[in-house]
Amino acid sequence: MKRLLVANAKGGSGKTTLATNLAGLLAGRDVRTVLVDLDRQHSAARWLERRPRGFPKIAGWTPDDDRDEVEAFDPQWAIYDSPAGLHGKRLDRAMKRVDLIVVPLAPSVLDMDATVVFLEALAEYKTVRKGECPVALVANRVDPRTLAALELENFLAAYDLPVIAHLRAAQVYVQCAATGAPLFDLPRSRAEPEIDRWAPIRAWIGAHLR
């Protein structure tokens, strides 16, 4: 089983959007997937409740703080959605569970400041420093015509971490959140062109499938 944590200390950076769509991406490829909701807001769990019948199955699991019975689902992948402000013991517990981390951030000084601190916190873990737990970044809500997007690029370039997607601010993500349908289960005409922006994420996931 592979366990992927979607996390950033910054609220609203796109963690749940990314986690739910990642789960949908894997489930759509017949990968046995469980979506684990570490956030007391339970946004990911509610998204699963809204998911239409007949879509590829995604199991849902909301663990309490100490127990993680995700193995009971016998998944091939577990995607962990996490709360804003994840740090300290809760981050320690999450880090004991996961093999890969994706950190979404938006083009804003607030996101970048929070991400600096969060990446420093991740670098405290030996598994991250040794590359045993790879970390990738996702630029979310990017409008490439803006100065903020350029500033985000400069920020990302300062890190020796893969940037595995540049997602736009797109209404389709709001629809995905509202309907429980990931991008990949929507008609292509509705999901385009955003769906193509997931190609590097798919490649990164594929590289870690084994």
Ligand X SMILES: Nc1ncnc2c1ncn2[C@@H]1O[C@H](COP(=O)(O)OP(=O)(O)OP(=O)(O)O)[C@@H](O)[C@H]1O
Asked if 12 interacts with ligand X (CB under 6 A), we say: yes
**Distance of closest approach, residue 149 Cβ to ligand X, in angstroms:** 13
Candidate list 7, 13, 137, 191; residue touching ligand X; CB under 6 A: 13
**Nearest-angstrom CA–CA distance, 209 and 22:** 13
Q: For residues 29 and 138, which CB has a smaller minimum distance to Mg ion in the complex?
A: 138
Candidate list 72, 109, 117, 169; residue touching ligand X; CB under 6 A: 169
Sheet hosting strand 59-61, strand order edge to edge: 59-61, 33-37, 77-81, 2-6, 100-105, 135-142, 163-168
- In this chain, which stretch among 39-47, 117-125, 128-136, 197-205 interacts with Mg ion, using CB under 5 A? 39-47
Other Cβ atoms less than 10 A from the Cβ of 128: the count is 17
> How many of the chain's residues bind ligand X (CB under 6 A)?
20
Asked if 45 interacts with ligand X (CB under 6 A), we say: no
**Nearest-angstrom CA–CA distance, 31 and 210:** 12
Query: Which residues, in sequence order, are CB contacts of 113 under 8 Å at separation 6+?
Result: none
Q: Give contact residues for ligand X (rule: CB under 6 A).
A: 11-17, 39, 41, 43, 83-84, 140-141, 167, 169-170, 173-174, 177
